[in-house]
Amino acid sequence: MVLLKSFMLAGLTAVVAAKSAVLDLIPSNFDEVVLKSGKPTLVEFFAPWCGHCKSLAPVYEELAHAFEFTKDVQIAKVDADAERSLGKRFGVQGFPTLKWFDGKSDKPTEYNGGRDLEALTAFITEKTGIKSKKKLAPPSSVTYLTDATFKNTIGGDKHVLVAFTAPWCGHCKSLAPTWESLATTFANEPNVVIAKVDAEAENSKATANDYGVTSYPTIKFFPKGSTTPEDYNGGRSEEAFVAFLNEQAGTHRAAGGGVDATAGTFAVLDEIVTKYIGGTPLTDAAAEVKKAAESLKEDAQYKYAEYYIRVFDKLSKSDSFAAKELARLEGILKKGGLAPTKLDELTTKTNILRKFVEKVTGKDEL
């Protein structure tokens, strides 16, 4: 029975190994497969004991499967610890090293981009024009920064929250889906950037060193207009990040997407609404709102201060406008299918209309 199990396990191992789409290269087949085939080839030089290589392995395998439908590009690897002559031949000094052979020259170019599936796929498509048949995840809203782009992103008119990560880091992998969701939540905020830096990539590790990053993930916040960061030491849930950014950037986002119940509202204008409901003549309240709104022109949400003015104007023609319009917009929101910007707009308007309706309801009950 033990012997039978051993044969079964051996057979299973062979089947799993046979499914690999990555070509294995050794000195005796390298030139034939890569240099003389005329096929563009991405080659990973790795070592079995290398932690970074182990982290890259499943991504690299997935990349190979994504392009195995075509014979016009190859994904290959070399165990450069075992086949040191190949590593030495192509100037490999660390692991993993990725080199691109264009199918024409025996002199490859080194790949220094991201080590995620999306970045690697985009690189091959850019080089060959061949598109992967694998259905990729929706485009990320995270801004990936390098040494070349980092300084152009911070210090301007945007608040920037940056996560410095490493491909092998378990905590970074745990943070990744939250970071993606956070970036999607703030995708419609023009003054907020959710960014990431691969602190160990050749094209971005200098930036990590400049900011004293020694552990991962390290999260830093750059307020707009500043190149001096603040360390973020709060919780790592999306709710915690959203609360932090709302406070720092003056935004009104809700975890999971959309805006919160305060978006578009102004305390100074709400006070006037309260007085109107309490008995202030509509014409007087409308004039007061218009005057108060003048002081809010520099606010990013000023267009919603104008919406208060519009509501008062509509109420002068129909005192049931707020309630009817709120019901209409809530009906549209309930149906769903709205573009994110439209969803934000309608939710914000319902926030304002609800101030009027809640006050009216309270008065009626009294």
Q: What is the pLDDT of residues 303-360, one digit of tens each?
A: 999 999 999 999 999 999 999 999 999 999 999 888 899 999 999 999 999 999 875 5
Q: Does domain 23-128 have CATH number 1.10.10.200?
A: no
Q: Which residues are catalytic?
A: 50, 53, 169, 172
* Residue 40 contacts residue 104 (beta carbons within 8 Å): no
What length is written for the chain?
A: 366
Residue 3 pLDDT more than 60?
no
CATH topology of domain 143-249: Glutaredoxin (3.40.30)
Burial class of residue 313 (count of CB atoms within 10 Å of its CB; 0-12, 13-18, 19+): middle
**From-to residues of CATH 1.20.1150.12 in the chain:** 267-356
Task: Give the pLDDT band (50/70/90) at residue 137.
Answer: low
Residue 1 pLDDT more than 80?
no
Burial class of residue 13 (count of CB atoms within 10 Å of its CB; 0-12, 13-18, 19+): exposed
Taking alpha carbons only, the member of 356, 333, 348 closest to residue 264 is 348
Share of the chain above pLDDT 70, in %: 92
| Residue 245 CB partners (closer than 8 Å, separation 6+) | 159, 161, 186, 192, 251, 253
Per-residue pLDDT tens over the stretch 37-92: 999 999 999 999 998 999 899 999 999 999 999 999 999 999 999 999 999 999 99
Q: Does domain 267-356 have CATH number 1.20.1150.12?
A: yes
For 209, 223, 320, 341, the CA distances from 269, given in Å and listed in that order, are: 48, 28, 20, 24
What is the mean predicted confidence (pLDDT) over 229-241? 96
Residue 175 pLDDT more than 90?
yes
Per the structure block, which two tokens stand in for 260? Answer: 């919160």
Share of the chain above pLDDT 90, in %: 81
Residue 209 pLDDT more than 80?
yes
Enumerate the β-bridge partners of residue 97: 45
pLDDT at position 118 is 87
* Residue 289 contacts residue 308 (beta carbons within 8 Å): yes
pLDDT at position 220 is 98
pLDDT at position 299 is 87
* Residue 202 contacts residue 265 (beta carbons within 8 Å): no
Residue 199 pLDDT more than 80?
yes
For all residues of the chain together, what is the average pLDDT?
90
Residue 210 pLDDT more than 80?
yes
Task: Give me the DSSP letters along 53-67.
Answer: HHHHHHHHHHHHHHH
Per-residue pLDDT tens over the stretch 15-44: 333 468 999 999 999 999 999 999 999 999
**From-to residues of CATH 3.40.30.10 in the chain:** 23-128, 143-249
Residue 166 pLDDT more than 80?
yes
* Residue 79 contacts residue 57 (beta carbons within 8 Å): no
pLDDT at position 68 is 92
pLDDT at position 19 is 63
CA distance 360 to 307: 18
SS (H, E, C) 265-320: CCHHHHHHHHHHHCCCCHHHHHHHHHHHHHCCCCCCCHHHHHHHHHHHHHHCCCCC
